[in-house]
């Protein structure tokens, strides 16, 4: 079975395309309709959520000291925002490629 023999609903099906966040990413130029390039969205979003935390802790004087766990020593936040979030967003591109109908994956 070829890609053109599949119903149009199956050809257009996507778990990650659509929705307000996808449209925002496309309009801002962080990705195209095929979620390419896969590295741009995770990097920008990780910096977008981590940099304000960094700036606010510096302005509040809690960067190195003043609390039980200062921001500089809080590895959990760094891993969450700089590793886990980009991996989650990069996984969207992988899932889209894996689940999109391709002729080589269709068996009759």
pLDDT at 104: 46
The Cα 96–Cα 83 span in angstroms is: 20
Are 85 and 51 in contact, with CB atoms under 8 Å apart? no
The Cα 93–Cα 35 span in angstroms is: 6
Give the dihedral of Cα atoms 71, 62, 42, 20; nearest 10 deg: 130
pLDDT at 11: 66
Q: Low-confidence residues of the chain, pLDDT below 70?
A: 1-4, 6, 9-12, 101-108
The Cα 76–Cα 28 span in angstroms is: 30
Q: What pTM did the predictor assign?
A: 0.62
pLDDT at 55: 92
H/E stretch holding 86: helix 85-99
**In this predicted model, what pLDDT tens digit does every residue of 98-107 receive, in sequence order?**
777 654 444 4
């Amino acid at each position: 079975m070829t890609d053109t023999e599949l119903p149009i609903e199956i050809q257009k099906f996507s778990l990650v395309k659509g929705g307000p966040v996808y449209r925002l990413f496309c309009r801002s130029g962080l990705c195209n309709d095929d979620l390419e390039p896969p590295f741009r969205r995770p990097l920008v979003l990780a910096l977008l959520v981590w940099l304000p935390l960094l700036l606010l802790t510096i302005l509040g004087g809690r960067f190195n000291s003043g609390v039980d766990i200062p921001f500089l020593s809080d590895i959990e936040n760094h891993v969450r925002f700089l590793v886990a979030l980009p991996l989650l967003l990069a996984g969207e591109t992988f899932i889209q490629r894996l689940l999109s109908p391709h002729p080589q994956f269709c068996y009759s």
